[in-house]
Amino acid sequence: MLFENRLKIPTDYLSGERDFVHIAQSHFQSDYKEFLEAVESGDLKRAESMYTGPLLDGINDDWVKKYRLTCQKMFEELNYPASQKNLDKENNPITKLKAILEQQKLTREKHFIPLLLRKDEVIFGFSVRKGDILVDFEDIVIIVLEKGTKSYEKTIKGFLKRAGLTEQAVKILDENGVLEIIKIRNSDSYEKKDFSN
């Protein structure tokens, strides 16, 4: 009642968890959220037009600094050399994957599940759902599953069933593991390395 009366926020836009009150994002416009959506959808022109400088410049609270750094990294990633950008096309799954995982590193709730599959284990007849991201490297495949409303376990089991794979054929990664693989694979000095162990 306090929030509804003093801040004019309808109670159906509020939820509570421990000592925190959360406001539904649909109630407020956020250029931060729109920037992330543009990056995640691969709309590079929109993302570039939305990034006008450091996030909440002038506010130096610790919680702001991590989000500011994430936005800066995403923006820098969008602006790597034009010759490379032309090769990658505008809807590069690696750029999208990096943006999603950089953002997920900052959140408590994990909405995406990164998996590593060895290429010799994968039969490419399975369907990839709309929210999933698949990156096919020379010898491995990284697939990031969108968790949705299902549990972590049900999401993975559903994918394994659709792909005709066993649990032994996949390795669950964390965000840093995937970002490290991408960094190494994109480096000029990359040598084939077994990431499946």
Extents of the domains making up the chain: 1-109, 111-190
Nearest to 101 by CA among 133, 75, 141, 57: 133
- pTM comes to 0.53
Inter-helix orientation angle 62-78/93-104, to 10°: 180
Question: What's the whole-number mean pLDDT along residues 2-18?
Answer: 65
Distance CA(135)–CA(101), nearest Å, equals: 13
Distance CA(173)–CA(170), nearest Å, equals: 9
Instruction: Work out the pLDDT band at 80, boundaries 50, 70, 90.
Output: low
pLDDT at position 86 over 70: no
Distance CA(187)–CA(140), nearest Å, equals: 16
Q: Tell me, what's the pLDDT at 18?
A: 72
Question: What's the whole-number mean pLDDT along residues 12-39?
Answer: 77
SS3 154: helix
Q: Tell me, what's the pLDDT at 32?
A: 85
Nearest to 147 by CA among 136, 157, 137: 157
Q: Which CATH architecture has domain 111-190?
A: 2-Layer Sandwich (3.30)
pLDDT at position 82 over 80: no
SS3 128: coil
